[in-house]
Amino acid sequence: MSALRILVPVKRVIDYAVKPRVNKAQTGVETNVKHSMNPFDELSVEESVRIREKKSAPGGVEDICVISAGPPKAQDTLRTAMAMGADRAIHVETKEGEDLEPLSVAKLLKSVVEQQKSNLVILGKQSIDDDANQTGQMLAGLLGWPQATQASKVMFEKEGDAVTVTREVDGGSETVRAKLPMVITTDLRLNEPRYASLPNIMKAKKKPLEKKKLEDFGITAERRLKIVKVTEPPPRQGGGKVDDVDGLVSKLKELGAL
């Protein structure tokens, strides 16, 4: 089996615990809040590091490269990924507020895969900001590679290049098998990401971080989808509380729910 050269795309997003607020101009949400690595991307980094630590791939892991396209602060996210165990990082710098659409990201990643000679790309199944759930599938399509999305378990055969992936699907799970090179996207059940320890955070500062621009990959930030407006969802008012089960039943009847 060929040694693994894993590419892990990560995205800096508003922290999952922050309740996003729509800005006054209705062009997006307030971004002056805490940001973190997209939770599904943490799973991708963790899985890559575990493949190396557990020596589960017969050919071993030669390289774990994390990449992020985003504003200068995306470097913090890349450092976090390196503190978790990634070897090096590529930062494709974009301007603040210049968000790439999944199709552009997929095109960018295709160039990076070719340049870096990656044979496994592990992405999060979706980013929790625009909830698109597209990039991994688009990348696999552009590369003509097999894909295993919403992975909850990744297993390597003892020999050869075959990878068996259990996927979360509606109603349960499904298992598929493909050969490298391939694209995998992570579901929450895949693993439990580690916390980066202080010594590892210090070490990560010395790991290589290569800076690139969109133009280096022939990508522009033009959008196919224009955001016409962003609004708050219609508010929902709590209807108050009842004292006992009888109150609950009669209120539900009154609301026509029973």
Binder to other proteins among 96, 159, 215, 246 (CB under 8 A)?
246
Q: Binding of other proteins at residue 256 (CB under 8 A)? A: yes
Q: How far is the CB of 173 from other proteins (least distance, A)?
A: 5
| 91 touches 49 (CB < 8 A) | no
| 8 touches 41 (CB < 8 A) | yes
Q: Which of residues 19-48 bind other proteins (CB under 8 A)?
A: 19-20, 22, 28-29
Q: Binding of other proteins at residue 177 (CB under 8 A)? A: yes
d(CA 223, CA 219): 11
R_g (Cα) of the chain, nearest Å: 21
Burial class (CB in 10 A: 0-12, 13-18, 19+), 2: middle
Please name the residues in contact with 224: beta carbons below 8 A apart, sequence gap of 6 or more.
101, 103
Q: Binding of other proteins at residue 139 (CB under 8 A)? A: yes
Token output for 33? 């809040």
Q: Binding of other proteins at residue 174 (CB under 8 A)? A: yes
- The DSSP element (H or E) to which 178 belongs, if any, is strand 172-179
Q: Which of residues 179-238 bind other proteins (CB under 8 A)?
A: 179, 182, 187-189, 223-233, 236, 238
| 34 touches 16 (CB < 8 A) | no
Q: How far is the CB of 90 from other proteins (least distance, A)?
A: 21
Q: Which of residues 61-90 bind other proteins (CB under 8 A)?
A: none
Q: How far is the CB of 111 from other proteins (least distance, A)?
A: 14
Q: Binding of other proteins at residue 138 (CB under 8 A)? A: yes
Q: How far is the CB of 258 from other proteins (least distance, A)?
A: 7
Amino acid letter, 245? V
Q: Binding of other proteins at residue 252 (CB under 8 A)? A: yes
Length of the chain in terms of residues written: 258
Binder to other proteins among 152, 201, 209, 212 (CB under 8 A)?
152
Q: How far is the CB of 175 from other proteins (least distance, A)?
A: 4
Q: Which residues pair with 169 in a beta bridge?
A: 172
Binder to other proteins among 42, 99, 101, 161 (CB under 8 A)?
101
